[in-house]
Amino acid sequence: MHLLIMGPPGAGKGTQAGRIGEHYKIPAISTGDMFRAMRDSDTPLARQVQDIMASGAYVPDDVTNQVVADRLVADDCAGGFLLDGYPRTLDQVAFLDGVLKEADCELDAVVSLAVDPDELVARLTRRSATDGRADDSPEAIRTRQQVYVDQTAPLLEVYRQRGLLVEVDGLGEVDEVTRRLFSALDRHAGSTPATSAS
Ligand code: ADP
């Protein structure tokens, strides 16, 4: 099973990604978490990544692509994976296409979690009070939403055209969203040519 989960900052990707990973017994790989983990290392690259993240901008594609490529060769990815927060740019889409082709595998579905923009800002503002993430400041929240709209939202169309997009309403209780998500994934699996009876 090879899956992606996409959605604007605050859509609840991380929470749902964890549940999808458990369900299909595949690793849920978050580029945001991997970059946050770099905080512990005091290298020039780690410092650059921290500054970029705190501003709400994207880490450069070459850095991000390399981090992902290195992660996907790990043993636990042999049976599949769920990427949370990657790809976010067209360049990353092309890079991932190459990695998948090399490994002779294909994406099964791309989950898109959709949430109203006002609700997203409200969620992130609430989270900033509890989690203390550097990129949950009001300016960084605005930047992240805008960067998502400009650079990442167009990717949904790319995956829609490939017949991979599974859109899920991300508004409501976490468990309710999870239920919606699995039934949408089941419907998608039942309608793809490889598994359909017709
Ligand atoms: P969110 O979805 O709320 O922005 P993430 O934890 O997924 O949170 O990402 C946090 C930050 O990590 C992003 O704002 C960006 O700076 C960096 N990042 C994560 N994934 C990518 C990516 N695929 N390309 C570039 N930057 C990324």
For residue 86, the CA-to-ligand 1 centroid distance in Å is 8
Residues 6+ apart with CB under 8 A from 37: none
Residue-wise DSSP of 119-174: HHHHHHHHHHHHH--GGGSHHHHHHHHHHIIIIIHHHHHHHHHTT-EEEEE--S-H
Q: Which residue's CA is minimally distant from atom 9 of ligand 1?
A: 32
For residue 58, the CA-to-ligand 1 centroid distance in Å is 6
Q: Is the pLDDT of residue 195 over 50?
A: no
53 CB under 6 A from ligand 1?
A: yes
32 CB under 6 A from ligand 1?
A: yes
Residues 6+ apart with CB under 8 A from 50: 38, 39, 134
Beta bridge partners of residue 124, listed in sequence order: none
Whole-number Å distance between alpha carbons of 107 and 49: 28
Q: Is the pLDDT of residue 198 over 80?
A: no
Whole-number Å distance between alpha carbons of 80 and 83: 10
- When comparing pLDDT for 40 and 51, which is higher? 51
Can you tell me the mean pLDDT for 10-37? 95
If you ran DSSP here, which 8-state letter would residue 58 be given?
A: P
For residue 189, the CA-to-ligand 1 centroid distance in Å is 28
pLDDT for res 193: 63
Can you tell me the mean pLDDT for 83-108? 97
Say how many domains are in the chain. Answer: 1
Whole-number Å distance between alpha carbons of 106 and 104: 7
Q: Is the pLDDT of residue 194 over 80?
A: no
Q: Is the pLDDT of residue 182 over 50?
A: yes
Whole-number Å distance between alpha carbons of 112 and 143: 20
Give this prediction's pTM: 0.92
Choose which residue among 15, 31, 145 to substitute to test ligand 1 binding: the one with the highest number of ligand atoms within 8 A of its C-beta. Answer: 31
Can you tell me the mean pLDDT for 30-41? 91
- When comparing pLDDT for 116 and 154, which is higher? 154
Which residues belong to the active site? 13, 88, 127, 133, 144
Q: What is the pLDDT of residues 64-92, one digit of tens each?
A: 999 999 999 999 999 999 999 999 999 99
Q: Which residues of 180-189 are buried (b: 16+ CB within 10 A; e: fewer)?
A: bbbebbeebe
Beta strands 81-84 and 165-169, pairing class: unpaired
CA-68 nearest atom, ligand 1: 23
The whole domain housing 98 covers 2-195
CATH of the domain at 169: 3.40.50.300
